[in-house]
Structure formats: C-alpha cells, structure tokens
Amino acid sequence: MKSLIAQFPQQLTEALSIAQKTKFKLSKSNFNQVVVSGLGGSGIGASIVQEYVFDKLSIPFTVNKNYFIPASVNKQTLFIACSYSGNTEETLMALDEALKRKSTIVCITSGGKLAEIATKHKLDLVLIPGGMPPRACLGYSLVQLLNTLKKAGLLKTKFEQEIASAIVMLNKGTKKIQISAEKVAQALHGKQIAIYGIAGSEGLMVRFRQQINENSKSLAWHNVIPEMTHNEIVGWKAPHEDIASVFCWHVGDFDRSIKRMGILKKVVKNCKSTQVNIELKGNSHWERVFYFIHLTDWVSVYLADLYQFDAVEVKVIDHLKGEMSKN
C-alpha cells in the first residue's frame, strides 16, 4: 500500500492526461440534476466533488450509495455510474434503473460488467487503470468526475490548473508529509479515533475514517461543525483518555465555525482526550484537498504498521462479497 500512496502525485498526473484524452458523446444539455452512484473507494470521490460544486452548480448534485435511485431521476438527469472494479452490485442495479428511465449516462470504471454494459448500450465510458485496491485509486475517479461535469457544460472552473499545482506541492513536500503522518499515527495508536472537521469538508473526513477502517483495521467515527456542536458535544462529559480527537481545519474556514471548533477543543481537553490538529495546507481548494488526502493516507498505513497489520488485506470484504454472490 505504501508504494501506491507514494505514487499519488503521479496518479493525479495520469488522471489529468486521461481526462484530456477522453472523447465524449455527451453534449451540453439542459440537465435538471446530477446523480452519481458509487460506493466505498469508488464513491468517496463523488462525496468530495459534491462539496466542491455546492456553490458552483445551479442544479442538484446527489451522491447515491444504494441499490436504488431517487424518484426524480429522469431523461434530464446526468447519471454517472462509478465503480472501480466495474462489478459493484449496488451500482450496477442503480445503473439498470437509470437506463430504464433514459437518463444521460456516463460510466467510470477500470472494466468489469460496467464497461460491458456501457459498450453494449453505447454509453460514454471513461476507462481508468485497473488492478489496484479501489481506495488507492481515488485520484483517477475524482478527476474524471470533474472532467465529466466540465464536458457536460456544468462546471466552469479551471480545476486542472489547481490540480497541476497540487501535484507540484505534493512532490516537493513528500518527506515533510510523511514525517507529519508518522507523528499523527503515533498519537492515534491504541486509541479510539474521533475525527472532527468543518462543514464543506465532510467528504475528506469520511475518506480519512474509511482509510483508518480499511488500512489500519481500526474503528473510528467522524462528525462536522456546526452540526455536532448541537448534539455530539454533549457526549463529551466524562473523562475519555482512551479517545484521540483529530481536529481538521484550514485558515480559510468560516470564522464562526473556527470559533466553535475552539470551544469544542476546550470541552474535549477537559475530558483528557489526546488532541491532534491537522491543518489542510495549500493555496487553493484542490491543493488543500490533496494535501489532506495524501497526509491521512500515510497516517493510515503508518498506524497499520504500529498495529502490525497488512494495510492491503480486506479479507472480510472479500468474504462478504463471496456470501452475497450465493443464490
């Protein structure tokens, strides 16, 4: 897994190249919504993109992580099916329904049944490199989602320039990122993990939690401000020396939310919880996003090392898929 994480900047470079070379039949139509179906490592990119386009798209952007699709999906919907393996049963079932409703469909995958269906129905198909764990290929799918929105005439920002700049930043800062990640992993070792961020970056908090789950083989939870300061904060009443609290933020976050986080930190400190701060560093949105992803990916594998776990192994998921395949 470490070698795959180390290749993340290279993956982003390749993802931009794939986006540039991909030819779409997709036209700039009068879409009434965007729906992306994808789960796990194939779906988290959509969650991160959803927050990016929150104040940029004039139509709803929904991330669907279920077998079923919203009743509103129709001929005016841009439906994006994202499955790294191409065999995710929930995504394939959702796609089948979108086909019945005659939506405009784009498929993002490395192959499998999804690629076969796209070819059969002459759908737009974006192929990304295969043979890796889906969670290690976030850069590929995320960039293709952005490019699809651009080709559909829905996204006007020059995200490619920001991502190119982020690649330079990651390459220059690799050693510092790894050193920081090792320190964070040591602070989290042996603890339950609570991850707190600010609204607008929940997709990143989910990504961090999922990497702790899959790579570190550990449980964690996340929440965001301001919502959690209306409920979960009350749970911080008794001492919790067994919990490590990770506070994630950047200097451009809304000042009222930053103030709420400061108050939360004091409450958590009174409960004797270990506190860790992670600042999302960078001069643009995508620099901050990819810095955080790269840093926390390293945290998850260093934590796996401390627990002496294989970061790649996901036997329980393989077992589940095997059981689900039985009639």
Catalytically active residues are 214, 230, 321
Q: What is the DSSP string of 10-31?
A: HHHHHHHHHHHH----------
Q: How many CA atoms lie within 13 A of 186 on its CB side?
A: 6
Q: How many CA atoms lie within 13 A of 12 on its CB side?
A: 25
| CA–CA separation, 141 and 44 (whole Å) | 9
The identity of residue 139, as a single letter, is G
- Structural contact between residues 66 and 94, judged by C-beta atoms closer than 8 angstroms: yes
Q: What is the DSSP string of 101-122?
A: TT-EEEEEESSHHHHHHHHHTT
| CA–CA separation, 144 and 107 (whole Å) | 10
| CA–CA separation, 158 and 23 (whole Å) | 19
- Structural contact between residues 104 and 80, judged by C-beta atoms closer than 8 angstroms: no
Helix (H, G, I), strand (E, B) or coil at 221: strand
Helix (H, G, I), strand (E, B) or coil at 35: strand
The identity of residue 290, as a single letter, is F
**CA distance from start to end of the chain:** 33
Structure tokens at 210: 């999922």
Using alpha carbons, select from 108, 58, 105 the residue that is nearest to residue 77: 105
Q: How many CA atoms lie within 13 A of 211 on its CB side?
A: 28
| CA–CA separation, 163 and 155 (whole Å) | 15
